[in-house]
Amino acid sequence: MSQENLKRLREAIVKQELNVATEATAACLREGARPKEVIDAVSETLKVVGDLFECGELFLPEVMRAANVAKASLNMVLPLIGRGVAARGPSKGRIAIGSLGPHDIGKTIVASTLMANGFDIADMGINLNPERAERFLQENTVDVLALSVLLTSDVDKAAEVIRRAKRLKGSLKVMVGGVAMNVAVARRIGSDAYGRDAKEGVGIARKFMGVKK
């Protein structure tokens, strides 16, 4: 596969060019790119967008537009991931994933990467609160709970979600990520692991489930 369209996709996300990004994504898939290659390109580019925001080269509205462009690209590969996982056989584990805040791009990237690596995903959505999380876990059988915590104001809420989850199922493993998280905070709120990005999330999930690549 030519790398040219992946390069076009990365540039389109940074420049917030929706049509160019979707055209580049479609071209990548036509050329035989694996969904994981597209997901990795989107994830890496969003880190670049974050760096540009931190240094003042992009502003928040531009960051949000870039995230929406990235999400449009991811939405094109998600159905392909589902079919690929089904074709590979039994799931490596079922993971419930949700965001404590209103944004879902990070959750979408992590969920997509986990799916591409053979895990079954139960999406709890955004703006998750302890009551809704508890009800979801009562109604669904999962092996791992994954939480995205972007705002420091949601840290205590995440701690309550984890407390209730552990009370329901003491053996349930929990991993957290997001800009409001680090190793120390994750430990303090009762999480079993902290992942900096989707790649680390996959490694943690594999360790939890005792599976290899």
pLDDT in tens, 122-138: 999 999 999 999 999 99
User: From edge to edge, which strands make up the β-sheet containing 120-125?
Assistant: 120-125, 94-99, 144-148, 173-177, 193-194
Q: Do 77 and 25 touch, CB atoms closer than 8 A? A: yes
Would you list the domain boundaries of the chain? 4-87, 90-209
Identity of the residue numbered 74? L
Report the pLDDT value the prediction gives residue 84, as an integer from 0 to 100. 57
Report the pLDDT value the prediction gives residue 116, as an integer from 0 to 100. 84
| Residues of the chain below pLDDT 70 | 1-2, 82-89, 213
Distance CA 74, CA 57 (A): 25
Cβ count near 19 (within 10 Å): 10
The residue with tokens 């159905």 is 79
Report the pLDDT value the prediction gives residue 85, as an integer from 0 to 100. 53
**For 90-209, CATH number?**
3.40.50.280
**Residue 147: its H or E element:** strand 144-148
CATH architecture of 4-87: Orthogonal Bundle (1.10)
Cβ count near 130 (within 10 Å): 18
Report the pLDDT value the prediction gives residue 89, as an integer from 0 to 100. 61
Among positive and negative, which fits the CA dihedral 198, 191, 150, 57?
A: negative
- Secondary structure of residue 194 in the 3-state scheme: strand
**Residue 173: its H or E element:** strand 173-177
